[in-house]
Amino acid sequence: MITHPPLSIRPARLDEIPALNRLITASARGLSQGFYTAAQIEAAITHVFGVDSELVADSTYLVVESAGQTLGCGGWSRRATLFGSDGFAGRQSGLLDPARDAAKIRAFFVAPEAARRGVGAALLSACETAALQAGFTRTELMATLPGVPFYATKHYVPGEAISLDCGGVAVGFVPMAKQLTH
């Protein structure tokens, strides 16, 4: 059995956004094959995927590291935007009310070489715990097609799939939600 060094999770810093965007691009290209066409992957990278700097500023966008190597990133948000990077047109910065709204799980990406090593699970657990501590009892997210099986194993319930126009290329996503428990 192969053992890996332990994972550590910390808030992302503004100065590492370019490196995180490179990890996101590598993750999308490496882990989306078989779910999206090459054209869909590139369109999503250009129009949707990437870091939302508001989450970094809010200290809710996290980085997973092991032995000094960044293995993944993702976060949660108390803001209305469900998905999309800084360049995505559909952003809404307003704050959510934990008494009636669901926290948003946002922009999870794992380095291809770290796939299926617990990086996403550790990140999701940290985000759900933080959302609970902030008073939220529900989470929701917009899953990529390769993300749907992962989130389903974590008890996220899929909604009706959508197709998003990414610069003239239709890219499929699936909204998913979960009730949090202490």
Kindly give the confidence (pLDDT) of every residue in the chain, 182 residues in length, as a single tens digit, with 9 standing for 90 and above: 666 778 999 999 999 999 999 999 999 999 999 999 999 999 999 988 989 888 999 999 999 999 999 999 999 999 887 766 555 555 566 788 999 999 999 999 999 999 999 999 999 999 999 999 999 999 999 999 999 999 999 999 999 999 999 999 999 999 999 999 86
Domain total of the chain: 1
Domain assignment of residue 70, yes or no: yes
Specify if 99 maps to a domain. yes
In-domain check, residue 109: yes
Q: Say if 15 falls within a structural domain.
A: yes
List the domain range (segments joined by +) for residue 12: 8-137
- Asked if residue 173 is part of any domain, the answer here is no
pTM comes to 0.92
- Type and span of the H or E element at 13: none
CATH of the domain at 74: 3.40.630.30
Residue 170 in any domain: the answer is: no
Of 62, 64, 61, nearest to 4 (Cα)? 64
C-alpha 144/C-alpha 31 separation (Å) is 11
The residues that bridge with 85 in the sheet, in sequence order, are none
